[in-house]
Amino acid sequence: MNGNNVIKHSSDQFDDGYSASINANSRITLANISVRNEHVRLTSPPQQQIVNSWTLGSTTVNKKMEDGRQTDIEYEPTSLQLVAKELVTDEKIRKIARNILTHKSVLMSKTDIINISTHSPMNRDQAKQRLLNDNLIKRNMFFSSRNKTNNTLVQHEGFMKSFPADSSLTEQLAFMKKLSQFNLTWQQYLNSFTNGQQITIDPITNKPIITIFNVHTTNAWFISEKAESIFRSEPYYGDYVNYNEHQVLRPIQQVATSL
């Protein structure tokens, strides 16, 4: 880009109602990007050294060249608009992920996740995959139904909200760091197990008091024994998950008959 192609202002309106505004002086350097009220604004003060960093909500990302150098980067206006649109998409994905993590039920079916958000299927799939990659949710056969013909159990895929791998401070801090990517604190996450209400701690046992059922099914499926085994054996679930045992579908016991 030469001096005759200096961009003073560029803006773009996206199909989904989000807008991006770009201002630049002399050279175009990407100095700051912020998201407020679902609007993306990129500003580039004159003579400000580029470190290829940006702020999205409360998440700060810093990037360097492969050789470790930090250098000025020139952007064409279309490139800036693409960056802005990518950040808008990323904000949508993080919002969907947060909705999944704060859902009132520990277990969710694919339909439940669709109902949580009306965003595009691609964004929803990316949000789900991010959570799976970070081990913030699990995917397995967490639901069951019964075959009416032969009374056998049919297993169905579902998603389960996760906890730290163990009760150590190291694992908890690592889990909290992952939650922070989606603007979620550890306490906010725990409160989702009581439908967003502040959790009360029993002064005698020092355990959370969970009085409501927080495992729900919105279809004809039941809780699988696989899901129940996690509730009973893995850390945190015994303290924060309260489910109706009558909703766990078990094989029908064959009654032995004598001839």
Tens digits of per-residue pLDDT, 127-170?
Answer: 999 999 999 999 999 999 999 888 899 999 999 999 999 999 99
**Percent over 90 (pLDDT), the chain:** 55
Q: Is the per-residue pLDDT at 16 higher than 90? A: no
Q: Which of 49-63, 149-163, 209-223 has the lowest mean pLDDT?
A: 49-63
- How far from chain centre, in Å, is Cα 243? 23
pLDDT classification of 215: cutoffs 50, 70, 90 = very high
> What mean pLDDT comes out for the span 49-78?
44
pTM exceeding 0.85: no
> What mean pLDDT comes out for the span 82-98?
86
- pLDDT at position 255: 59
pLDDT classification of 258: cutoffs 50, 70, 90 = low
Half-sphere exposure of 49 (CA within 13 A, CB side): 4
In the block, residue with structure tokens 């200096």: 6
> What mean pLDDT comes out for the span 233-256?
89
> What mean pLDDT comes out for the span 33-57?
38
Residues 6 or more apart whose CB falls under 8 angstroms from that of 43 comprise 23, 31, 32
Burial class for 36, CB neighbours closer than 10 Å (0-12, 13-18, 19+): exposed
